[in-house]
Amino acid sequence: LLISASTSGTTAIFNISKTLETVLLHIESSQSPQQENITSSGVKYAQTNWQPRTASKREIIDIGEPDLKCIGNQSGVNGLDVNYKDGKLRIATGGDDNTLSVFQILLTVSLQNELMLICTSIGRNMCAHASNITGVKILSNGSVVTSSIDQRLNIWSVEERDEVLDVVHVGFGKKSRKLVDSGSGEVRKMEIAMEYSGYVDVADVSDLDCLEICGSDEGGGRGVRVVIVGVGMQVFQGSL
């Protein structure tokens, strides 16, 4: 799967397995064998070297339309992260509209043995930060870490609820757009709640990354180190 986000606030998921097969076949067909004789101790050996043929022009292979589109933000997406567990994708995005969005996608196989992507849950916090979100990271326990221009480091818990969303649109009036444009079944709400919020000394925060470590405390539990970068760098450490 190829997952991308754009300035329109849309996250698109492409199944490019067939495209990769086409590319591999193209690479194999564009190579030609060349034989050369190698002499060792008076014995001649034939060695085949595969050399790519010179292409007259660069071929562009269309990956097609996305299999699923999710609209989590009203404008540009600056941060995106993906976590896969138990046949489900969890995608988190943050952008210029200060909104943190989380989508849960079920991966299943149809009767025609084709991969199907079904959005089962959606969570949005439209006031996750006071300014643009610049970094998003999903931890192994399901929590989401975000950074922002507002110089805050926030950690969020994400829990799926039984509540079914009747209206899954973003925006208002004629400019409203459906949060999910394909898939089937009920879409449930995910609750995004703040677990931690801390001040960051780094100015103009541009991104973050997380490293989960084992045995980080006296009890031997798992911990996490969060690196914030911008005009400088700062490292936070905590336990999971």
Q: 65 vs 143, which has greater pLDDT?
A: 143
Residue 82 has pLDDT above 90, yes or no: yes
The structure tokens listed for 195 are 């677990």
Least Cα distance to 68 among 112, 22, 115 occurs for 115
Between 48-62, 127-141, 178-192, the lowest mean confidence (pLDDT) is in 48-62
pLDDT averaged over every residue in the chain: 83
Q: What is the distance between the alpha carbons of residues 25 and 19, in angstroms, rounded to a whole number?
A: 10
Q: pLDDT digits over 206-232, tens only?
A: 999 999 988 655 566 789 999 999 999
43, β-bridge pairs: 40
pTM comes to: 0.79
Cβ atoms within 10 Å of 214's Cβ, excluding its own: 8
Q: 197 vs 19, which has greater pLDDT?
A: 197
Q: What is the distance between the alpha carbons of residues 239 and 229, in angstroms, rounded to a whole number?
A: 21
Q: Where are the alpha helices (DSSP H) in the chain?
A: 17-29
Between 20-29, 69-78, 187-196, 223-232, the lowest mean confidence (pLDDT) is in 20-29
Residue 49 has pLDDT above 80, yes or no: no
pLDDT at 217: 56
Q: What secondary structure does DSSP assign to 76-131, as a single string? A: -EEEEEEEEETTEEEEEEEETTS-EEEEEEEEEE-TTS-EEEEEEEEEEETTS-SS
pLDDT at 206: 96
pLDDT at 23: 79
Q: pLDDT digits over 136-193, tens only?
A: 999 999 999 999 999 999 999 999 988 887 655 544 444 545 666 555 567 889 999 9
pLDDT at 78: 95
Residue 37 has pLDDT above 60, yes or no: no
